[in-house]
Amino acid sequence: MLVLLGIAVVVAGFIARINPLLVILVAAIVTGVLAAVQPGVDARGLFEAGVATLAKFGEAFNDNRYFHITWLILPVIGVLERAGLQERARMLIARVKAATAGRLLLVYLFVRQGTSALGLTSLGGHPQMVRPLVAPMAEGAAEAEFGALPDKARFRIRGMSAATDNIGLFFGEDIFIAIGSIVLMVGFLEQAGIVVEALHVSLWAIPTAIAAFAVHGVRLWLFDRSLKRELATAATGSEAAQ
């Protein structure tokens, strides 16, 4: 039962608003070390358990190719941003009169889900797509509609942009039959004596993806309305102060 203290570390860390990556890392180390606690284990044994846990992190880092892709992409994104990529993205979307932050993100959600369903999960993502392009374009659409944005509204748009990418990837990738999550589900069910075809799991992910698109589409529509009310109220307060 001591290994369950890792859950307590996660809960306490999130309540204290500590960096989530640090919280998860500490919780994993605590769980790995406490799993070695048994009669006859001394301090040296606990130390070796901690080293073995850290070694597992290193193996996962080296085995996961997405980490390497991300570190290769970040310098390229930095150079593009220095050359004015975000400003160009804002200027481009500002020319589209019908564009709003919510509508733009809805289009991105459709594209993200569609490409993820085809297995092209690396075409989107926070470092290579949301930060340099999607979020600035959503901000540009809002600026074209409402003028200068306060920091609170700007951060809300950025947060919704990141959330849209997450939802599009999460509910789109399970449609691709060769994705790791489907292989994991099929293998887990097979161990439990339930035999299912990977194709069937993939097909049943389609209704879920459609439902997720509809639900988040409504959220984006409500986001546009709430953003409009918030900026209208801010503009009224600014005029009254003058």
The model's pTM: 0.66
pLDDT given for residue 23 in this prediction: 86
Looking at residue 112, its pLDDT comes to 95
Residues 49 and 110 in one domain: no
Residue 215's pLDDT is: 97
pLDDT score at 14? 85
User: Tell me, what's the pLDDT at 123?
Assistant: 82
Distance separating alpha carbons of residues 140 and 91, to the nearest angstrom = 7
Which amino acid is present at 114? G
**DSSP for 28-84, written as a single string:** HHHHHHHTT--TT--HHHHHHHHHHHHHHHHHHHHH-HHHHHHHHHHHHHHHHHHTT
What does the alpha-carbon distance between residue 21 and residue 130 come to, in Å, rounded to a whole number? 20
**Burial level of 34, CB count in 10 A (0-12/13-18/19+)?**
middle
Residues 89-133 pLDDT 10s: 777 777 777 888 999 999 999 999 999 999 888 888 888 888 888
For position 180, what pLDDT does the model report? 76
CA distance 91 to 98: 14
Whether residue 100 is found in the same domain as residue 118 = yes
Domain boundary among 63, 81, 115: 63
Instruction: Name the domain boundary from 42, 63, 84.
Output: 63
- Regarding whether 223 and 131 lie in a shared domain, the answer is yes
Which regions of the chain are under pLDDT 50? 66-67
Considering the domain boundaries, does residue 68 fall inside one? no
Tell me, what's the pLDDT at 60? 65
Query: Is there a single domain that holds both residue 225 and residue 119?
Result: yes
Number of domains making up the chain: 2
Handedness of CA 211, 214, 220, 221 (dihedral sign): negative
Q: Which domain holds residue 192?
A: 73-241
Asked if residue 187 and residue 88 are part of one domain, the reply reads yes
Q: Let me know whether 183 and 223 are in one domain.
A: yes
Using alpha carbons, select from 240, 238, 218 the residue that is nearest to residue 149. Answer: 238
